[in-house]
Structure 1
Amino acid sequence: YFKHRGILGPPHHFLFGHYKTLWSTKSFSKQIQEWTRQYGSIYGLFLGRRPMYVVSDVDFLQEVYIKQFSSFHSRAIPRIFRIETDGKIHLFRANGETWRRQRHVINPTFSSSKLKSMTSLVNKCITALLNKISQITDDKQKETNIYELYKRLTMDVICKIIDFSYKCPINNLFFLGRCAFGIDTDMQNDINNPYLQKLAVLFKTDVDDLLLFRLANLIPFLARPLHDIVFGLENVRETLVKLLPVLNDYIAEIPALWLMNRVQGVVDVRIQSSSTSTKRTDLLQLMMEATRDNMTDPIDDQSMTKTLRPNELIPNVFLFMAAGYETTSTALAYSTYILATKQDIQEKIVEEIKNSSWNQNNNEEEAYEIATNLSYLDLFAREVLRMYPITSKAMIRECNTTTTIGGHTIEKGSVIQPDVFTIHYNPDLWGPEDPNTFYPERHLVKRHPVAWMPFGVGSRNCVGMRFALMELKLCLIHLLNQYRILPTDKTEKGFKLEERVVIQPDAIFVKLEKRLI
């Protein structure tokens, strides 16, 4: 197939294609990097019998993500996830007009005005983090795995942003006070928080490693029966628990379904209370209102109903919950590692903060403006994400219409997988400074539009990118304003990368020393 197209690639099995190698490798990203070194910037793999182009040619990718987006608007997702479940589909999975409609509805949620309104809630969560850190730094010799603290922070932020201040059901119990998704917001002090535990399980599991998913990808006609088995077993579980509630402690729910069921409970309470309670402006409320407001976009060439359907609400809230947890905490962990090992860069950022009008009494608009306009901090964040991209699998695209790019005919159904690490470390794209060197100032130079892609590129880039960067910057400003981040022996040894849903460090150990004011 590829040979006839003049494209190289490693040898493959007639049935498995390259799945056997990809399933056995510890790092998908490192494996495709190694093949790129052998076979060039465009080479071919087979996912079973399905052709996949692995690409580090940025001009080719610019066609895919931007210029010919209409031919590549779909993500190539596991076949089990393609099975329609009563329209319960979120933005990440959606394709075509469904994706376009959802994106139009959700985009305004992350506008500058909305982000400003979220700043005070993010700052409250960061204050809780600093309080936790102050307890740790009482012991001046103690080092801490700050990555674990960041995970609790980002989960806390999600719960504040999708705020819920009513009585919230948790396993038939009720907690009073401020909570979101039915979660006690003191979670930064509670390592046994069930939401943190469920999300941890979710991100430790790469669906590509699960036997049922592998079978469905390898033998497409099995996708429907395997899908029905997975969700059929969950229905059996629900029935058994209703008959014998005590079984709830012995038969675990699938983590993703557990989370969505809790979100559904919160939404139900919010709907019931909407007529008697003060109207809210949080993310959940914006999405709920989008299920009722039937808007049309006068700017579009083709008028389109801009409404989020009721059965799309829960999946999209769940998506925000999952996407905002491990990704931002991982970016913060990498940032902290760099700050600990490069004290000169840390002091540059501290000096920039001091020279700004930042203080603890800034209102939400001032805090937002300062955080988003600290130029060196922005260069720093961009360089962290260049050297440590959080994911590469999320950038994968499926060809929806047969087309031609650079003389290559890309057939409908083919898959395009960018080699993100090769792109991010390409000296032709990121020189003249060595791309293996951490050098924030390299981002002062205008680069190719596809040279930097930690959040994706084009119309299907990460909808929450601006929120993630705002959260990261606010956290670093607060932290560096109060603490000096110091390396320990464990920091100097580095960390091991673990690639599942995201590419994450196993741990980031640092020592935090209170700054003298």
Structure 2
Amino acid sequence: MGLPGPSPRFFFGNSIELFTHERHSAACLAEWTNRFGKIYGYFIGHTPIICISDPDLLQEIFITKFSHFHSRRPLPLQQHDLRHLLASKDDEWRRQRSIIQPTFGINKLKEMRIIMNKCLNELIEQLDKQNPHVEFDISHLLKRTSMNIILNCAFGINPAKHENLSEPFFQRCVQVFEFSLFQTMLTICSILLPELNFLWVSYFKYTSIIRLWLHDHVPFLNRFIDTDPNTWLLFHVENIIKQRQLHGIERVDLLQSMIEATTILQKTSSSSSLPKHYLNQDELSNNIYLFMLGGYETTATALSYLSFILATHQNEQAYLQDEIDRVGDDYEQLVKLEYLDWFIRETLRLYPIAPFIVNRQCNKECQI
């Protein structure tokens, strides 16, 4: 690549050092940055990767020349027919983003904030019940809270009233991040031999479909064969969307906002431009699934690290509490919580969340 960097091994590149680091992969990247500088290259399998930590260059990539870098590197075992923002490229990505972005407008967020506060109050009640002299696993409570917020804000499902529906969602989301040996081996193959990704993905996809069918139609096999959590989640997300559209149910949630945006754009667009201005059924369900899964683990993990820092830095905790009490919790005043913003950013710097998701793939040749 003509850049400094660690020496790659045959076939594996730098994957072994990266994924078997004694701490975590982000710590390995930090060590390489200290050793090779703010711009260096390494290999995952035989795929070249450029790691950049120069602020000016990052601003050029993410802002000035973003039109060249809006695509992301495909995830391992990513199906080619997925239709969400992370998997889409070029015009397809622009179209989806233009439709989805208004669903996160200020007015929509204000409506969802009421729901979020209710879920957070339930978390506070759970924390108040804990024995202050006994250690407990706060990460489990935070994962539950993240899932409660997502189910409420995305689907209008109140876990307290629909435990038979919310509990399976929570358990499946947990399973997504607990790789089986079979899935781990396929993931390694997908990383090291991306040219054969169609083979690994097809095998994983169809075995998952078979497992789901056996789970639903041959119940006695459930003790031996579990369903793939991704397939189960996507299947049930699609069912929720179909039921919402079939019965004309309207709620204050993310799904309703996306359905409304799609419907309005369909009505206001001419027939010739219609395909460019709406989400089809697969895109709608895929993006809802993406927000649900992406918001669950990352949010809960970040909150766990924030809680750890607060517990081990009492002075900073007191200063932060003083700022929140002084500024208040009115939506318009949140931008004035400077110390809170610094605190979150510094914690995420110390403990990066999903660092390999923050990547960009060049769409067309350019010079930076």
Smaller-chain TM-score range?
0.7 to 0.9
Counterparts in 2 of 1:221 and 1:326: CA distance versus 1, 3 Å: closer
Q: In the TM superposition, what is the alpha-carbon distance from 1:154 to its structure 2 partner?
A: 0.9
Distance 2:219 2:61 in 1: 51
TM-score by length of 1: 0.64
Partner SS state of residue 144, structure 1: coil
Counterparts in 2 of 1:37 and 1:95: CA distance versus 1, 3 Å: same
Structure 2: state its 5+ residue gaps.
none
Partner SS state of residue 129, structure 1: helix
Aligned match for 2:135, one of 132, 143, 146: 143
TM-score by length of 2: 0.87
Listed one character per residue, the Cα deviations across residues 338-358 of structure 1 (whole Å, up to 9, x for unaligned) are 222222222223323333455
Calculate percent identity across the aligned residue pairs.
Answer: 34
Q: Does 1:374 align with 2:353?
A: no
Aligned to 2:25: 28
Listed one character per residue, the Cα deviations across residues 217-271 of structure 1 (whole Å, up to 9, x for unaligned) are 3333421122111111123224434542332443211111111122122222212
For the 8 Å contact 1:160–1:179, the answer to whether it is kept is no
Q: In the TM superposition, what is the alpha-carbon distance from 1:289 to its structure 2 partner?
A: 2.9
Partner SS state of residue 280, structure 1: coil
Distance 1:349 1:60 in 2: 33
Number of equivalenced pairs = 364
Aligned to 1:197: 171
Listed one character per residue, the Cα deviations across residues 31-59 of structure 1 (whole Å, up to 9, x for unaligned) are 22222222222222223332211222222
Aligned to 2:356: 393
For the 8 Å contact 1:297–1:306, the answer to whether it is kept is no
Aligned to 2:89: 95
Partner SS state of residue 51, structure 1: strand
Aligned match for 1:247, one of 221, 236, 241: 221
Structure 1: state its 5+ residue gaps.
167-174, 185-192, 359-366, 406-517
Distance 2:141 2:76 in 1: 35
Counterparts in 2 of 1:114 and 1:31: CA distance versus 1, 3 Å: same
Whichever residue aligns with residue 211 of structure 2, its letter is R
Distance 1:292 1:178 in 2: 29
Q: In the TM superposition, what is the alpha-carbon distance from 1:390 to its structure 2 partner?
A: 1.7
Distance 2:138 2:51 in 1: 35
Aligned match for 1:45, one of 42, 64, 70: 42
Distance 2:16 2:293 in 1: 29
Over alpha carbons, which structure has the higher Rg?
A: 1
Q: In the TM superposition, what is the alpha-carbon distance from 1:132 to its structure 2 partner?
A: 1.2
Partner SS state of residue 13, structure 2: coil
Counterparts in 2 of 1:352 and 1:45: CA distance versus 1, 3 Å: closer
* Residues 289-298 or 7-16, more deviating: 289-298
For the 8 Å contact 1:9–1:39, the answer to whether it is kept is yes
Counterparts in 2 of 1:267 and 1:248: CA distance versus 1, 3 Å: farther
In the TM superposition, 1:330-349 aligns within 5 A as 330-349=301-320
Q: In the TM superposition, what is the alpha-carbon distance from 1:393 to its structure 2 partner?
A: 0.5
Counterparts in 2 of 1:370 and 1:62: CA distance versus 1, 3 Å: closer
In the TM superposition, 1:118-197 aligns within 5 A as 118-136=112-130, 139-164=131-156, 178-179=161-162, 183-184=165-166, 193-197=167-171
Whichever residue aligns with residue 369 of structure 1, its letter is E
Partner SS state of residue 367, structure 2: strand
Q: In the TM superposition, what is the alpha-carbon distance from 1:96 to its structure 2 partner?
A: 1.1
Aligned match for 1:17, one of 10, 13, 17: 13
Aligned to 1:310: 281
Whichever residue aligns with residue 57 of structure 2, its letter is F
Aligned to 1:327: 298
Distance 1:119 1:49 in 2: 45
For the 8 Å contact 1:164–1:179, the answer to whether it is kept is no
Aligned to 1:66: 63
In proportion to residue count, which structure has more helix?
Answer: 2
For the 8 Å contact 1:44–1:54, the answer to whether it is kept is yes
Aligned match for 1:273, one of 247, 250, 263: 247
Aligned match for 2:106, one of 93, 102, 112: 112
Q: Does 1:78 align with 2:75?
A: yes
For the 8 Å contact 2:146–2:299, the answer to whether it is kept is yes
In proportion to residue count, which structure has more strand?
Answer: 1
Distance 2:199 2:328 in 1: 60
Distance 2:74 2:65 in 1: 20
